[in-house]
Amino acid sequence: MRVIVCTKETPDTAAAVDVVEGKATWGDAPLVINPWDEYTVQEGINLKEQGASTVTVLALGGEDTREAIKHALAMGCDDAALIADEAFAQVDSLTVAKGLAGGVRQFDDVGLVITGKMTTDANGGALPVQLGRLLGWPTVTYVAKIQSFDVDGKSITVERLVEGGRQIVTAPLPAVISVVKEINEPGYPSFMGIRKAARAQYPTWSAADLGLDADLSAKVDWTNLEKPPVKAGDAEIISAGSVQEAAEQLADKLMEEKVI
Amino acid sequence: MILVWIENSGGQALSVSWETIGVARSLAGDAPVAAAVFGPDAAAIGEQAIARGADQAFVCDHETFTAYRVDPHASLLAELAQAHEVTTVMAGATTRGTDVLGALSVDLDAGLITDAVEASTEGDSLVAKRPVFSGKLVATVTSPAAPHLLTIRGRAFPQPEPDESRSGEVTAVDPALSEDEIPVKETGFEAASGEISLADAAIIVSGGRGVGGPEGFEPIRELAAVLGGAVGASRATVDAGWIPYEHQVGQTGKVVSPDLYIAAGISGAVQHQAGMRTSKVIVAINKDPDAPIFKLAHYGIVGDLFDYVPALSEAFKKRLT
Ligand SMILES: Cc1cc2nc3c(=O)[nH]c(=O)nc-3n(C[C@H](O)[C@H](O)[C@H](O)COP(=O)(O)OP(=O)(O)OC[C@H]3O[C@@H](n4cnc5c(N)ncnc54)[C@H](O)[C@@H]3O)c2cc1C
Ligand SMILES: Nc1ncnc2c1ncn2[C@@H]1O[C@H](COP(=O)(O)O)[C@@H](O)[C@H]1O
């Protein structure tokens, strides 16, 4: 049974992001695998101990995306596929989901698709459920732990984080899950892994290869991008004589702000 | 019609759902706003939604909604959206709200704008602003044609007060899916400890590596308790195992937007800021006057948190009792 892990490239989270001519820029900061997807990839690899035969990394994006794929292969994925097409250059999450669903359908032995909780650039978070619904597979989001992954019985039991607690649910396979940070400790790519990843050959699919001739235009567009308004000046530093005086002063100011 | 999915948590609506009704009202113009309430006590919550500004409510108190699963919600919303001339479906940008409208976007083949902090209409278009790149930028997102799907960030919009004199029709509807048609089954639920959850908290007191160890969170917890707030934490403390992940604020934790955020012993790394920068008032307590958190904070104290946090608890105890 194959497990597919989905990832994409995002600018390094420590990068100073700016807007130039309406487009986001991050200077010469590197693009990295979406940080949430290190958990995605690691969880796929961990499932090999529970009977997954092959872990495939699937990504949709431009040439840059090959770096994220390389990272995932170096971490231990077995193979990869890239969906790259001009048709996906400026699209929304639903269209990306259509592309990824087309990619997943290229394989006939898929038991599970794993995605991250969200991407650190678009901050969407709806992709996993969109992908699951398009495939017609049960979807369970915000998974913090896979309790059991039963390849023969074709079912999965997971703990998911929800507002107010942890929900434990069972779903038949094939299914789609999104995972949160708590689920594992991502490993570092090994030296051997990096060498293997550098040589890896994998298919690159266009929309037409996936039979996606239908309407792939985005339903929503980013029409503007700006820096958030900056707070004027630095903090007002409370520097009264004693600790108690400072605390009293700050408490008064916060009462005046009417936030308590 | 604008349809608002009310998030029903065990017979109670989340406050973000009332905020969503407020936004729907402002977007609807002359069109009606309808609340969609599924699950326990749906009819009573439907009445409350009308008091908060909805014109009518569709309610379904069926056992398939008792344990949350995305499918029954999305399928019934899709039916309602198709049966009534719905231009926009809205929900709070919670984990469930994102799930439900995400699934609905497939059924309606409609664009989804998540996590909006501003929203307006321009002709037939829906235009919203939302933070992207972990709050470093703000995108204006336009959905040119109905149906529009929109989730709104909690605490970003005012909550309409209930007006008990309002009245409207509460219509019971049948579920779209039977239990047999829902593949996901709940087999257990562990409620979080009695502590106030970060997502709903109006006040958050957070500790960072400066607390020095698990017991260092004690003064933080005490101040949070005095203020009736929740306890937050930086990733450094979660990674060190001093406090569970549920408390982590930031890019790989929770994104919060309380009225008051007190950061004690937190340097203010960009990834931490990503989770709290939209808080209304930010207070920083840190030994290091050059800590980046002071650039973001409104009020700061340069000093030892083990002196100032307990002193603040005392100062507030006097004022609040
Ligand atoms: C991909 C990625 C995602 C991340 N996601 C998150 C996230 O979600 N949330 C998050 O918080 N971080 C996140 N980080 C980590 C982030 O970069 C920082 O490492 C982290 O926030 C630092 O935590 P801190 O402020 O507690 O610790 P430090 O940076 O070590 O700061 C401790 C501060 O405490 C002060 N201090 C020490 N003792 C005292 C005292 N007695 N009294 C007062 N002040 C004192 C020090 O002056 C210092 O400023 C992420 C990093 C990466 C790479
Ligand atoms: N272009 C893409 N290619 C592959 N996977 C993606 C892509 N975009 C998003 N994902 C996956 O979907 C998750 C949620 O992303 P989003 O909902 O877009 O914030 C990510 O953590 C990835 O696992």
Cα dihedral B263, B264, B265, B270 in deg (nearest 10): 0
Looking at B146, B181, B216, which one is the last position of a domain?
A: B181
| Judgement on whether residues B48 and B110 belong to the same structural domain of the protein | yes
| Judgement on whether residues B40 and B169 belong to the same structural domain of the protein | yes
| Judgement on whether residues B175 and B209 belong to the same structural domain of the protein | no
Q: What is the CATH classification number for the domain harbouring B247?
A: 3.40.50.1220
Distance from CA of A232 to the nearest CA of B (A): 9
Identify whether A222 is part of a domain. no
Pairwise CA distance, residues B312 & B305, whole Å: 10
Identify whether A242 is part of a domain. no
Q: How many angstroms does the Cα of residue B28 sit away from the middle of ligand 2?
A: 32
> What residues of chain A lie within 8 A of the CB of B191, using their CB?
164-165
Number of other residues whose CB lies within 10 A of the CB of residue B181:
12
Pairwise CA distance, residues A225 & A229, whole Å: 12
Pairwise CA distance, residues B297 & B285, whole Å: 10
DSSP state of B197: P
Q: What are the helix (H) ranges across chain A?
A: 35-46, 65-75, 93-104, 127-135, 191-199, 243-256
Range of the domain at A120: 2-205
Residue whose C-alpha is closest to residue A124's, from A260, A245, A250, A8: A8
Per-residue pLDDT for chain A (260 aa), expressed as one digit of tens each?
999 999 999 998 888 899 998 889 998 888 999 999 999 999 999 999 999 999 999 999 999 999 999 999 999 999 999 999 999 988 899 999 999 999 999 999 999 999 999 998 888 899 999 999 999 999 999 999 999 999 999 999 999 998 778 999 999 999 999 999 889 999 999 999 999 999 999 999 999 999 997 778 899 999 999 998 776 567 899 988 899 999 999 999 999 999 98
DSSP state of B95: H
* φ, ψ (nearest 5 deg) of residue A171: -140, 150
Distance from CA of B169 to the nearest CA of A (A): 30
Beta carbons of A227 and B137 less than 8 Å apart: yes
Query: What's CA A110's distance to the chain center, in Å?
Result: 19
CA A29 vs CA A32, A227, B71: distances in Å: 9, 18, 40
Query: What is the pairing mode between strands A155-162 and A221-226?
Result: unpaired
Residue nearest to atom 7 of ligand 2 (CA): A8
Ligand 2: does its nearest atom lie under 6 Å from the Cβ of A124? yes
CA B269 vs CA B127, B137, B199: distances in Å: 31, 16, 21
| Judgement on whether residues B235 and B100 belong to the same structural domain of the protein | no
Pairwise CA distance, residues B281 & B286, whole Å: 16
Q: Is the peptide bond before B147 cis (omega within 30 degrees of 0)?
A: yes
Q: Is the peptide bond before B32 cis (omega within 30 degrees of 0)?
A: no
Cα dihedral A103, A105, A110, A115 in deg (nearest 10): 40
- Looking at residue A86, its pLDDT comes to 92
Ligand 1 mutation target, pool B252, B290, B296, most atoms within 8 A of CB: B252
Residues constituting chain B: 321
Pairwise CA distance, residues B266 & B212, whole Å: 11
How many domains, in total, are found in chain A?
A: 1
Number of other residues whose CB lies within 10 A of the CB of residue A168:
17
| Judgement on whether residues B154 and B266 belong to the same structural domain of the protein | no
Identify whether B292 is part of a domain. yes
Residues 244 through 273 of chain B touching chain A, CB cutoff 8 Å? 245-246, 248, 251-253, 259-260, 269-271
Q: In the Cβ-directed half-sphere of A198, how many Cα atoms lie within 13 Å?
A: 7
| Judgement on whether residues B216 and B276 belong to the same structural domain of the protein | yes
Query: What is the pairing mode between strands B260-264 and B203-207?
Result: parallel
Q: What is the CATH classification number for the domain harbouring B121?
A: 3.40.50.620
Residue nearest to atom 43 of ligand 1 (CA): B286
Tokens of A173: 């396979």
Identify whether A238 is part of a domain. no
Identify whether B233 is part of a domain. yes
Identify whether B187 is part of a domain. no
- Looking at residue A229, its pLDDT comes to 78
Report the DSSP beta bridge partners of residue B203: B260
Mutation site for B-interface testing, chosen from A21, A91, A123, A170 by largest number of B Cβ within 10 Å: A123
Identify whether B173 is part of a domain. yes
What lies within 8 Å, CB to CB, of B82 at 6+ separation is B108
| Judgement on whether residues B164 and B285 belong to the same structural domain of the protein | no
Q: How many angstroms does the Cα of residue A246 sit away from the middle of ligand 1?
A: 24
Q: How many angstroms does the Cα of residue B293 sit away from the middle of ligand 1?
A: 10
ipTM above 0.85, yes or no: yes
CA angle A153, A157, A163 (to 5 degrees): 160
Mutation site for B-interface testing, chosen from A26, A96, A133, A157 by largest number of B Cβ within 10 Å: A133
Identify whether A120 is part of a domain. yes
Beta carbons of A253 and B284 less than 8 Å apart: no
Nearest CA in chain A to B310: A247
Identify whether A257 is part of a domain. no
- Looking at residue A165, its pLDDT comes to 85
Residue nearest to atom 11 of ligand 1 (CA): B234
Identify whether A240 is part of a domain. no
Distance from CA of B307 to the nearest CA of A (A): 7
Could you tell me if B289 and B268 are in contact, meaning their C-beta atoms sit under 8 angstroms apart?
Answer: no
Range of the domain at B31: 2-181
Q: Is A220 helix (H, G, I), strand (E, B) or coil?
A: coil
Pairwise CA distance, residues A195 & B2, whole Å: 55
- Looking at residue B197, its pLDDT comes to 79
> What residues of chain A lie within 8 A of the CB of B101, using their CB?
126
Pairwise CA distance, residues A4 & A65, whole Å: 16
Q: How many angstroms does the Cα of residue A105 sit away from the middle of ligand 2?
A: 17
Q: Is A240 helix (H, G, I), strand (E, B) or coil?
A: coil
Count Cβ–Cβ pairs < 8 Å, chain A vs chain B: 256
| Judgement on whether residues B211 and B114 belong to the same structural domain of the protein | no
Residue nearest to atom 1 of ligand 2 (CA): A60
Pairwise CA distance, residues A121 & B134, whole Å: 7
- Looking at residue A231, its pLDDT comes to 65
Ligand 2: does its nearest atom lie under 6 Å from the Cβ of A119? yes
pTM of the model: 0.89
Judged by a CB distance cut-off of 8 A, whether residue B95 touches chain A is yes
CA angle A86, A89, A91 (to 5 degrees): 125
Residues 270 through 309 of chain B touching chain A, CB cutoff 8 Å? 270-271, 274, 277, 280-284, 289, 294-303, 307-308
Could you tell me if B174 and B64 are in contact, meaning their C-beta atoms sit under 8 angstroms apart?
Answer: no
CA B212 vs CA B218, B219, B264, B307, B308: distances in Å: 11, 12, 11, 14, 15
Q: Is A93 helix (H, G, I), strand (E, B) or coil?
A: helix
| Judgement on whether residues B29 and B117 belong to the same structural domain of the protein | yes
* φ, ψ (nearest 5 deg) of residue B273: -55, -35
Pairwise CA distance, residues A79 & B55, whole Å: 54
Could you tell me if B243 and B260 are in contact, meaning their C-beta atoms sit under 8 angstroms apart?
Answer: no
Could you tell me if A121 and B132 are in contact, meaning their C-beta atoms sit under 8 angstroms apart?
Answer: yes
Looking at B147, B181, B215, which one is the last position of a domain?
A: B181
Pairwise CA distance, residues B10 & A131, whole Å: 28
Identify whether B188 is part of a domain. no
Mutation site for B-interface testing, chosen from A118, A120, A260 by largest number of B Cβ within 10 Å: A260
Q: Provide the b/e sequence for B67-91 (b: ≥16 CB within 10 Å).
A: bbbbbbbbbbbbbbbeeeebbbbbb
- Looking at residue A232, its pLDDT comes to 58
Identify whether A246 is part of a domain. no
Closest-lying ligand to the alpha carbon of B207?
1
Could you tell me if A37 and A8 are in contact, meaning their C-beta atoms sit under 8 angstroms apart?
Answer: yes
Q: Which residues of chain B have pLDDT under 50?
A: none
- The residue type found at B138 is V
Pairwise CA distance, residues A197 & A73, whole Å: 5
Pairwise CA distance, residues B297 & B262, whole Å: 9
- Looking at residue A213, its pLDDT comes to 75
> What residues of chain A lie within 8 A of the CB of B283, using their CB?
250, 254
How many domains, in total, are found in chain B?
A: 2
| Judgement on whether residues B20 and B96 belong to the same structural domain of the protein | yes
Distance from CA of B54 to the nearest CA of A (A): 25
| Judgement on whether residues B229 and B113 belong to the same structural domain of the protein | no
3-state helix, strand, coil in chain A (%, to 5): 30, 30, 40
- Looking at residue B196, its pLDDT comes to 75
| Judgement on whether residues B174 and B218 belong to the same structural domain of the protein | no
Identify whether A251 is part of a domain. no
Q: How many angstroms does the Cα of residue A119 sit away from the middle of ligand 2?
A: 6
Q: What is the CATH classification number for the domain harbouring A145?
A: 3.40.50.620
Number of other residues whose CB lies within 10 A of the CB of residue A222:
19
